Structure formats: C-alpha cells, structure tokens
Amino acid sequence: MRSRDRLAALRGLYGIVTDEGPLPPIPWARALAAGGACAVQLRVKRLPAREALSLARALRAALPETILVVNDRPDLALLSGADGVHVGEEDLSPADARRVVGPGLLVGATARSAAAALAALRGGADHLGVGPVFPSATKPIAGRPLGIPGLARICAAVRPAPVVAISGIDASSVGAVAAAGAACAAVIGAVAASEDPAAAARTLAAAFARAGGVRS
C-alpha cells in the first residue's frame, strides 16, 4: 500500500494494544479489526527488542488488511512490515523518524496544541495524535485535557492532515470527537475492558461513522 493510500484509509476507529494491558496483544488486535477498526497501534513497553519485533511481525501477519502502526520505534515499524510509526514528544523527532522509515510509511506525531501540530507536520509527520481530549483511565498524561473545543481548534488548524484524537474516548463521547473533525478516535480501555471487545469496537466504530467521522 502506498503512503497516500495508507493516509486516505486512516479514517474511523483507531485501536491501541499494549504488551502490558488486560488482554494479550494479538487477540486484542483481532477483536479491534473484527469490530471495524481501520488501524491498530502497538505499544511495547516491557518486551526486549527481539521479542518486540517478533510481536510486531505476528500482528502484521494477523492483520493483513488493517493499518498497523508501531509506537515509538521506527526501526521496528520498518522491520516488521508495519504501515507506520507514531512518535511522542520525547521520542525521535518526526524528521528523524521519517529518515528511518522513508517516504512510504506513515509518520504520526503527538501534538497538544495547534502550534505543536503544525510544527510536527513541517518536520515530516503526515498525521497527528492529538490529546489528551479527556482524562485517561489507562495512562497518566500531563496537561489539562483539551476537551471537544480544543480538539476542534487543532483539527481546523491542520486540515486536511488527519487527526487521531486520543485519551478517555468511549461510546458516550466518540460521536462528538468525530463531529469535531478528527479522522480517527483512538481507544484502549473502551474496548479492552469490555466483556466482548469486538462488539465494543463495532459499537464505537458505528457511532463514529454516524457522526460523520468517516470521510472519503
């Protein structure tokens, strides 16, 4: 898949799986894909590099039709055949990540303001992870939540670059996130904590689409 095709496909539910979450990463990712997630991001926090690469490759094999993004590690993204990498504020810069993965993969970057988002795009990112939109139940995040108005301002400032809204999003808020202009809504606990993760993902993806969040 070409980079522009990957970017165009980045619309809808964006699932995040980890190696320290409540579910094993591969069944978790499969549930997200079965529920209609357009993308799955792998966050590896505990595994050594070789095991992390093995897990990323296993996810790639398990999700051949779903966009796969590796968090923090452009080297693992490239070696595993993933579709992209996401870098945070303390990781490699978007420009350096782009040097590693080349022009064909997606590079996402965290942004907490319009100024930071525009700087990340100038530095080589092609899409943005924007948050925290709401307080997170799964990860300590510094800074005051943006809320829907703050998310909408950043989406407007960077349009047409896709925005992945993150933090605290659930079935009660995913529609508002879509209406604010986000291309994707990232979820962790809203799916992982459910008794039926695939059904939870399906509900979230449908609510996002109903609010106009999936655009051609």
pLDDT tens-place string over residues 112-169: 999 999 999 999 999 999 999 999 876 666 678 999 999 999 999 999 999 999 999 9
Judging by beta carbons within 10 Å of its beta carbon (0-12, 13-18, 19+), is residue 143 exposed, middle or buried?
A: exposed
Buried b (16+ CB within 10 A) or exposed e, 106-140: bbbbbbbebebbbebbebbbbbbbbbbbbebebee
pLDDT tens-place string over residues 100-111: 999 999 999 999
Nearest alpha carbon to residue 14 among 122, 176, 165, 175:
165
> Domain residue spans in the chain?
3-210
Percent of the chain predicted with pLDDT > 90: 88
Would you give the distance in Å from CA 48 to the centre of its chain?
22
Round to whole Å and give the CA distance between 160 and 202.
26
Buried b (16+ CB within 10 A) or exposed e, 39-53: bbbbbbeeeeeeebb
Can you read off the two tokens belonging to residue 103? 């022009």
Q: Does 3-210 carry CATH code 3.20.20.70?
A: yes
Read off the pTM.
0.94
